[in-house]
Amino acid sequence: MQTKEKPIGVFDSGLGGLTVVKKLIEQLPNEDIVYFGDTARVPYGDRSRETILEYTRQDMAFLLSQDVKAVCIACNTADSMARTEMEKLYTLPIVGAVLPAAKTAVRVTLNRKIGVIGTHATVASGAYKNSIASLDPACTVYSVACPLLVPLVEEGRFHKGDAVTESVLADYLAPLREKGIDTIILGCTHYPLLYDMVASLLPGVFIICSGFASVDYLKNELAGRNLLNDRQTPGKTHFFVSDAPEKFAANASLFLGRPIGGQVKKVSVGQGVCD
């Protein structure tokens, strides 16, 4: 098999990375995709840096065992904490969400006041603040950790009108609105499902979905390396998880916009499969 015919690997701590898979299928319909959701250890957002590094090494090793040609880290926490270390270990293209989203934010902001919402680990890492500062030191970044959003989204509570989620989100976004931001980065791949709520709470603010920005970045990276699959038939997506494949399959449609049935396989990362 030629390298360009190999699949693209995508991993996340759970379901959120499926928003990236959906965008990949739209942008690169002829590519095969291997998705791994570390559902046994979700969420990553409240773990230590050492733990996140170890989990990311294992996630990467599993995807490499599937002979992927590139990896998209569809987890802002893993990207912010571990991508640089992974790039030292591997030569294949590794694309995260932080830098692509930061570049987009710097490009579109008019008043140079940028908000970021994400997990505790993503915010604490300073990854977005540092990336934006390296691109445009005149920008001011205001970050808010939102630990309750991932559990709410994974419970399907992301539709406009959900009083609990709207109340929680309004509380998180209030300080950003007070700062007068004109751009916000949704720094978690679960958050695109909250796009409409964010838009209603921050009218007129430009919203960037970090995972979507990463897909554009990956597409350009593959094209630059002559790794785009040039076949004319639709690609296939293979799903793997570390726990509860039935639950994953049942909830995946919320993120993908279509059912995936019983196509999910369980693997045991950290116990020989990807060490």
Residue 139 is among the residues annotated as catalytic for this protein: no
The residue ranges of every structural domain in the chain are 3-96+213-266, 98-211
Q: CA geometry: angle at 98 spanning 43 and 188, to 5°? A: 35
Tokens 């934010």, residue located: 105
Residue 274 is among the residues annotated as catalytic for this protein: no
Same fold, 3-96+213-266 and 98-211: yes
Please pick, among 72, 139, 188, 209, the residue that the annotation labels catalytic: 188
> How far apart (Å, rounded) are the C-alpha atoms in residues 174 and 71?
35
Q: What is the DSSP letter of 7?
A: P
State how far Cα 116 lies from the chain centre.
14
Question: pLDDT averaged over the chain?
Answer: 94
> How far apart (Å, rounded) are the C-alpha atoms in residues 248 and 262?
10
pLDDT tier, 271 (very low <50, low <70, confident <90, very high otherwise): low
- The residues that bridge with 99 in the sheet, in sequence order, are none
Please pick, among 75, 146, 209, 274, the residue that the annotation labels catalytic: 75
pTM > 0.75: yes or no? yes
- The residues that bridge with 201 in the sheet, in sequence order, are none
Residues in the chain, total: 275
Q: What backbone phi and psi angles, to 5 degrees, belong to 23?
A: -70, -35
Mean local confidence (pLDDT), 154-176: 94
Q: Given this model, what pLDDT does residue 258 score?
A: 87
User: pLDDT tens digits for 33-49?
Assistant: 999 999 999 889 889 99
Q: Given this model, what pLDDT does residue 81 score?
A: 93
Q: Given this model, what pLDDT does residue 261 score?
A: 73
> How far apart (Å, rounded) are the C-alpha atoms in residues 249 and 260?
6
How many CB atoms lie under 10 A from the CB of residue 259? 11
> How far apart (Å, rounded) are the C-alpha atoms in residues 74 and 77?
9
The candidate with the shortest Cα–Cα distance to 12, out of 122, 142, 146, 145, is 122
Instruction: Fold for 3-96+213-266, please state it.
Output: Rossmann fold (3.40.50)
- Percent of the chain clearing pLDDT 70 (strictly above): 98
CATH of domain 98-211: 3.40.50.1860
Please check whether residue 209 is in contact with residue 3, taking contact to mean a CB–CB distance below 8 angstroms. Answer: no
Q: What is the DSSP letter of 143?
A: E
User: Cα separations (Å) of 252 from 35, 68, 221?
Assistant: 12, 22, 27
